[in-house]
Amino acid sequence: MTATGSSARPQGRLVRDGRTGPELRIGIVVVAYNAATTLLETLDRIPVDFRSRIAEVIVCDDASRDNTFELGRLWAERPETPPTTVLRHTKNLGYGGNQKAAYSLAIERGLDVVVLLHGDGQYAPECLPDMVAPFDDPDVDAVFGSRMMDRGAARRGGMPLYKRWGNRILTTVENRVLGLSLTEFHSGYRAYRTSMLAAVPFTSNSDGFDFDTQIIAQVVHAGGRILEIPIPTFYGDEICYVDGVRYAKDVLKDVVEYKLATRGFGTAPWVPTPEEYAFKEGDGSSHTIILDMLRRLPPSRVLDLGCSAGVLAEQMRAAGHTVVGVDALELLGVRDRTDEFHRADLERPLPPEIGSGYDVVVAGDIIEHLSHPQDLLRQVRELLRPGGRLVLSVPNFGHWYPRSRVALGIFGYDRRGILDNTHLRFFTRSLLRRMVRDCGFDIVAESATGLPLGPVGGSGRLTAAVRAVDDRLVRLRPTLFGYQHVFQLVPHAEDTVRADVVKVPHSATTDRAPGRSGYASA
């Protein structure tokens, strides 16, 4: 037995109920397509002494052109069989689509563990007790049967040479990209804890054979633990519907797509998306620049707009500031990381309970998510005390990355960064300058960040060299190489002066020399 897993933070809502052994409600999902010649024999091979532990068998006929469905019903009607549901899809859903329907039903029926069994008998039903036994450990989320764990077993079982080599090469690449150590990615003999299935977006997966690769990435991404057990290999006269070349292309595309999506590129719907907005760590990031600004200030009252889970607010509090957080969602832990939290939609007028008189308002990577950012900026002016300032960070659409995407005709959204698929507005530096001035602010300081090399990965000399070159380019031409613009803003000086003038008696200004305003010091 081998096990692999991930220490990554779960992205779904994985909740294990702790049931083990005989208490587990076990389901067997049989996917079948034109399996009339093998289905009954496969079902009959389910060990008799194991059948009492099976809560339900679900036979899913994927719109076969033969009598697979009728034979499934015939088996279900036998008195010695476990409770069985036989389904026939009215159209062919594909290998992955068939699993989606089956797993959704298993979750709906309240099963705890579901084992995938192929109706063509390629995977031995005699191994079902072995597939289920590891779930006595409540930390096991998936069990995969591997034909590659026992050296030479695949060859003895009749697996063709080209399939053995193809399996090993693909598995090696997939392990390398995903950081795993599975002995086989391509076995169709699998068992899942349904709480894990409910925690991952498997219904967004491919309808094809690469469904099995995508769900591996999802389980690991959710922090799940996968355990492998050896199974026998059997190749008979069953019909293979897999196009090997296309399958290899699809699974390689999937693992690369997953890796890129977790780094922020692309919008693959099958890769889970975190609820909370990520804290930007690393030298030169917008959050690092904001924190450096605030660390130079005395203890201040700070309003953090769009605070997400409060990770940035927590850092600001550690620097001695009192932080009030505002966000449309109340994420786990946000009230512990802020001094005060208010739930509010930033697209609407801010509620009065937020108060006013703030020394600093932070809007870190927020206004690009709003349909009318000017409305929020004008509200912020009213929340600042005299002498207070707004710290604003915004992605730079003039950066070479989106410029290149547009120029090459491959413009599209990403999961994060400048082309984040939740961005409603795009800004260049000139557009941003114009907007903040129109909203009543003066720019007292501005800077640009470099590439976010942290999420892309890598370390050592190469990363340091890329960082050094990028930093120099950002200094030379921030409009092209700056990844984000960070502004420090204060309300227009003339607005403050105008308020002061109202309080000054008219006679106090009458002796001023013609042609001089007398307010230059303001």
User: Rounded to whole angstroms, what are the CA distances from 143 to 16, 128, 331?
Assistant: 16, 11, 32
Tell me the average pLDDT across 240-264: 83
pLDDT the model gives residue 520: 29
Tell me the average pLDDT across 225-251: 79
Going by the DSSP 8-state scheme, the letter that residue 152 receives in this structure is: T
- Whole-angstrom Cα distance, residue 304 to residue 390? 10
pLDDT the model gives residue 271: 87
pLDDT the model gives residue 233: 78
- Residue range 24-262 forms a domain whose CATH class is alpha beta
Alpha helices in 93-191 (DSSP H): 94-108, 128-132, 153-156, 161-178
pLDDT in tens, 264-316: 777 788 887 765 555 555 556 788 899 999 999 999 999 999 999 999 999 99
pLDDT in tens, 376-408: 999 999 999 999 999 999 999 999 999 999 999
What is the pLDDT confidence band of residue 81, given thresholds at 50, 70 and 90?
A: very high
pLDDT in tens, 3-22: 555 433 334 456 656 566 66
Q: Is the pLDDT of residue 342 over 90?
A: yes
**What are the structural domain ranges in the chain?**
24-262, 286-498
Residue with more model confidence, 111 or 467: 111
Tell me the average pLDDT across 94-110: 95
pTM for the predicted model, two decimal places: 0.67
Q: Is the pLDDT of residue 516 over 80?
A: no
pLDDT the model gives residue 453: 77
pLDDT the model gives residue 277: 56
Domain 286-498 in CATH: superfamily? Vaccinia Virus protein VP39 (3.40.50.150)
Nearest one of 374, 383, 394, 486 to 438, comparing CA atoms: 374
Q: How many CA within 13 A on the CB side of residue 272?
A: 26
User: Torsion angle of alpha carbons 60, 64, 66, 70, nearest 10°?
Assistant: 30
Nearest one of 83, 73, 82, 80 to 40, comparing CA atoms: 73
Other residues' Cβ atoms within 10 Å of the Cβ of residue 167: 19
Place of tokens 């009065």: 352
pLDDT in tens, 197-207: 999 999 999 99
Whether the CA torsion 301, 389, 424, 397 is positive or negative: it is negative
pLDDT in tens, 474-505: 999 999 999 999 999 999 875 544 443 333 33
pLDDT the model gives residue 437: 95
Residue with more model confidence, 30 or 503: 30
pLDDT the model gives residue 36: 94
pLDDT the model gives residue 276: 53
pLDDT the model gives residue 497: 41
pLDDT in tens, 347-356: 999 999 999 9
